[in-house]
């Protein structure tokens, strides 16, 4: 039912829609993602005011390689939706939704940290769980889980002050 409403509202912008195991999923293109997510947040028909989760999945054999996945929930209407945005593997980036849901601030930082997907327009995109000098993106499928990292060199905090926060 939600999918019919979405189809009526966004039409060809929805590249694919699926309803499986009681969950509804739509796939949208990266170019239109911002507009659609903004509309899903603010239009009273949808009112997805709660961003449950934002993450990515790496599919090295597919094009586009990454899927950025938004789990939305409306606390007023009580419905849920999964939105997928395909992101190309050579220069992975997506639009930041931190301006729509503040929760996206940290979730996008984590996604960047783990997958190396840049979120354009994010106010302060830097690693969050890993340290700054960590090499590579651990949740990509081509990152072996046993890889060793170089030892972090000791720095004098006075001569090399830490990067100031925003």
Residues that bind another protein (CB under 8 A): 20-23, 25, 49-53, 55, 57-58, 69, 71, 73, 75, 78, 80, 82, 101-103, 105-107, 110, 114, 127-131, 138-139, 143, 145, 156, 158-159, 162, 165-166
Instruction: For residue 87, give every residue at least 6 positions away whose Cβ sits within 8 Å of its Cβ, in sequence order, or none.
Output: 30, 56, 64, 65, 66, 67, 68, 93, 94, 117
> Please, is 102 exposed, middle or buried when counting C-beta atoms within 10 Å of its C-beta (0-12, 13-18, 19+)?
exposed
Q: How far is the CB of 47 from another protein (least distance, A)?
A: 11
Q: Which helix (H) or strand (E) holds 37?
A: helix 30-42
Q: How far is the CB of 31 from another protein (least distance, A)?
A: 24
Cβ of residue 68: shortest distance to another protein, in angstroms?
12
Minimum distance from residue 59 beta carbon to another protein (Å): 9
The residue (of 36 and 100) whose beta carbon lies closer to another protein is 100
The number of beta carbons lying within 10 Å of the beta carbon of residue 24 is 17
Instruction: Give the strand pairing for 50-58 and 80-87.
Output: unpaired
C-beta of 23 vs 45, nearer to another protein: 23
For another protein, which is the closer residue by CB, 6 or 113? 113
Token couple for 48: 């997805």
């Amino acid at each position: 039912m939600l999918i019919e409403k979405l189809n009526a509202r966004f039409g060809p912008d929805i590249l694919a829609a699926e309803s499986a195991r009681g969950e509804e999923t739509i796939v949208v293109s990266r170019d239109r993602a911002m507009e659609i997510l903004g509309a899903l947040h603010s239009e009273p028909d949808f009112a997805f005011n709660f961003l449950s989760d934002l993450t990515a999945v790496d599919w090295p054999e597919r094009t586009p390689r990454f899927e950025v996945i938004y789990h939305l929930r409306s606390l007023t209407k009580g419905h849920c939706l999964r939105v997928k945005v395909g992101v190309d593997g050579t220069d992975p980036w997506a639009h930041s939704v931190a301006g729509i849901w503040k929760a996206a601030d940290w979730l996008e930082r984590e996604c960047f940290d783990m997958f190396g997907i840049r979120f354009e327009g994010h106010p302060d995109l830097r690693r969050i769980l890993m340290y700054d000098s960590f090499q590579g993106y651990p949740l990509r499928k081509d990152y072996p889980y046993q890889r060793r990292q170089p030892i972090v060199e000791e720095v004098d905090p006075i001569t090399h002050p830490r990067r100031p926060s925003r």
